[in-house]
Amino acid sequence: MNSPRAQPQPYCVVDSHTEGEPTRVFLDDRAPFAGRTVADLLGAWRTPEGGWSVPQELLTLVAEPRAAVATVGAILCKPTRPDHVAGVVFFNCAGPLGMCGHGTIGLAATLRHLRRIEVGEHRFETPVGSVTARVREDGRIEVDNVEAYRHRAGVEVEVNHRVVRGDIAWGGNWFYIVDEDRDLDLARVDQQLAHGVAIRNALERDRIRGANGAVIDHIALFGRPVSRDADSRNFVLCPNGSFDRSPCGTGTSAKLACLASDRSLLPGQVWRQESVIGSRFDAWFRTEPGRGDAIYPTIRGRAWIVAETSLLLDPDDPARASGWAELAEA
């Protein structure tokens, strides 16, 4: 007699996109996340090296065939502070993310869609600090990000027999920021991806890191804007090898830190950042006495809800553990 078939574990999610970049919010009122805080998850997922990882089963839920490769997961958590509406842990199919600007905008839009929050100001706990989202009447959402700063300026690295010069900056994730005298557009995505990967490999080869030896896992190319009312267009390589369809909130924050350090942008002055697909974030920053060149960026954009669903991981599915990409290589 055959054994009873194991029932798949459902994961309740809401999908959205922020200026073209997808976010998948995992709701906190169903197993296995019910009642968990950010600290609970990070403690459970701590690695022997002192960092943290994301279980493979969750990585599978933001990878093909269940999600577009650019998808960022956002696990909604129970807050530990009474003035915070929720905690959130971000990740993509390559692993954890410290913060995610577009994901925070998507999370705020999701919670408004679920009628858990309304127009106004709301605070969220993340693994790298608290952030504030302001939901406006017109649907736009502003995110006050964590502190951003430039770690090193003018860092040179040899890439394909030529020298690339860029800044290392923190905007909630680590970035190597390169100003490019070239057009950044969808027609050149393959070349831009290859260029970004080559830069990231060169940084790792030369052991060029962020503060405290942190791996620089995002490469951000900044070039000429296409729209007349934009200041720049960017192409951002994400840790999982995809590119950001939005202008990248943490990347734009890191760029603002570099502009501020160069005195090229003043506090409160709006920077209009265009993505490689033409979508846009408006961004500005404030400073605080005694914080040196560190800044506090704000990112403004829009998000749209695209689905509410339950994801299932069938125990017999060969793509359950590895994801479609690894399955295809086997």
Structure tokens at 61: 């839920």
Pairing of strands 129-135, 149-159: unpaired
Check residue 57 and give its pLDDT.
Answer: 87
Q: According to DSSP H, which parts of the chain are helical?
A: 38-44, 56-60, 101-113, 189-205, 249-261, 323-329
> Model-level pTM?
0.94
Q: Are 246 and 279 in contact (CB under 8 A)?
A: yes
- Whether the CA torsion 240, 63, 29, 18 is positive or negative: it is positive
Res 329: pLDDT: 36
Burial of 305 (0-12, 13-18, 19+ CB in 10 A): middle
Which residues are part of the catalytic machinery?
A: 100, 248
Q: Supply the pLDDT for residue 326.
A: 37
Q: How far apart are CA 118 and CA 57, in angstroms?
A: 33
Contact predicate 16/305, CB 8 Å:
yes
Measured distance CA(75)–CA(243) in Å, rounded: 22
Instruction: Give the chain's end-to-end CA distance (angstroms, integer).
Output: 33
Q: Give the chain's domains with CATH numbers.
A: 9-140+305-329 (3.10.310.10), 149-300 (3.10.310.10)
pLDDT of amino acid 321: 63
Q: Write down the pLDDT at residue 114.
A: 97
Q: How many CB atoms lie within 10 A of CB 294?
A: 17
- DSSP E strands, the chain: 9-18, 21-26, 72-77, 86-92, 95-97, 120-126, 129-135, 141-144, 149-159, 162-170, 174-179, 218-223, 232-237, 271-274, 280-286, 296-301, 303-313
Amino acid identity, position 47: T
Q: How far is CA 92 from CA 23, 73, 75, 142, 151, in A?
A: 10, 6, 11, 22, 25
Distance CA 117, CA 287 (A): 29
**Would strands 296-301 and 218-223 be described as parallel, antiparallel, or unpaired?**
unpaired
User: Other CB atoms closer than 10 Å to residue 99's CB: what's the count?
Assistant: 25
Q: What's the sign of the alpha-carbon dihedral 168, 124, 295, 249?
A: positive
Taking Cα atoms as reference points, which of 60, 218, 246 lies closest to residue 148?
Answer: 218
Instruction: Say what the pLDDT of residue 244 is.
Output: 98
Question: How confident is the chain (330 residues) per 10-residue block, as mean pLDDT?
Answer: 66 96 91 87 90 90 93 96 96 95 98 97 97 97 98 98 97 97 91 97 98 96 96 97 97 98 97 98 95 94 97 82 40
Cα distances (angstroms) measured from residue 301 to each of 19, 23, 49, 273: 7, 14, 36, 10
pLDDT at 319: 78
- Cβ-based neighbour number of residue 327 at 10 Å: 15
Looking at residue 330, its pLDDT comes to 30
